[in-house]
Amino acid sequence: MIENDRIYALDYEFNKPQLLKLYDDLAGSQKSWPWHMNNPEGPWSKRGYSVKFLYNIISGRAPRDSVPRFVMDLLEYFSPMGLMSIGFFHTVPNFEYPVHTDQGGVLKGNGPTASLNVILSDEAVPIRFTQDLQIDGPPYEKGPLDFEYEYNAALINTSWPHYIVNGDKERIVFRMAIFPPSDFYQAREGLKSLGH
């Protein structure tokens, strides 16, 4: 069982075939990096529902049937973690995420603070974190003492600088991103309150 300031492994059985079907169904919402070009051949893409879109449903400003029932069930079940977006990341083999936080840098600061990730591809691709928080970054630096974790489903502290080295594997991740005012620690408490 992994639990520290960077990652909290989760004992929850996600319905992976159902999630992979949603991944296929949401193909039309795909945005590829670099986002301003949205190149469908790009090595890194995302698809899913934004936190704003889901919040409009939860607050009654958009119909609940705008998303599949099980998505609303997941949102409700995991609501103790905070406000969330729901979606997927896809990366091609040999793609390397640079070291980053999901907060979007010091200027933006409104990105996700944490993320519940579920690996949907067959083989796990480990996540790496810098040894120190590097609060003066970006830019962030990799180092020989960086942490590496392999997981199936885990809450990730995406406010801690992290990166992925895909190797020769394709990677599909289901992702429930946690937004302020919640953070990794609050989301972890939420999971524990649910018995996970």
Provide the minimum distance between the beta carbon of 158 and Fe ion in the complex, in angstroms, as a whole number: 5
Residue nearest to Fe ion (CB): 102
Task: Tell me the window of 16-24, 49-57, 125-133, 156-164 that interacts with Fe ion (CB under 5 A).
Answer: 156-164
Provide the minimum distance between the beta carbon of 6 and Fe ion in the complex, in angstroms, as a whole number: 12
Of the chain, the end-to-end C-alpha distance in Å amounts to 11
Residue 58 CA to residue 62 CA, distance in Å, equals 8
**Site membership for Fe ion, residue 183 (CB under 5 A):** no
Size of the site for Fe ion (CB under 5 A): 2
**Site membership for Fe ion, residue 6 (CB under 5 A):** no
Nearer to Fe ion, 159 or 188 (CB): 159
Beta bridge partners of 127: 149, 164
Supply angle C-alpha 15, 128, 150, rounded to 5.
Answer: 40
Provide the minimum distance between the beta carbon of 98 and Fe ion in the complex, in angstroms, as a whole number: 10
Q: In what order do the strands lie in the sheet with 162-164?
A: 147-149, 127-129, 162-164
Positions in 16-35 near Fe ion (CB under 5 A)? none
Binding residue for Fe ion, selected from 26, 47, 88, 102, defined by CB under 5 A:
102
Nearer to Fe ion, 23 or 91 (CB): 91
Q: Which residues bind Fe ion (CB under 5 A)?
A: 102, 158
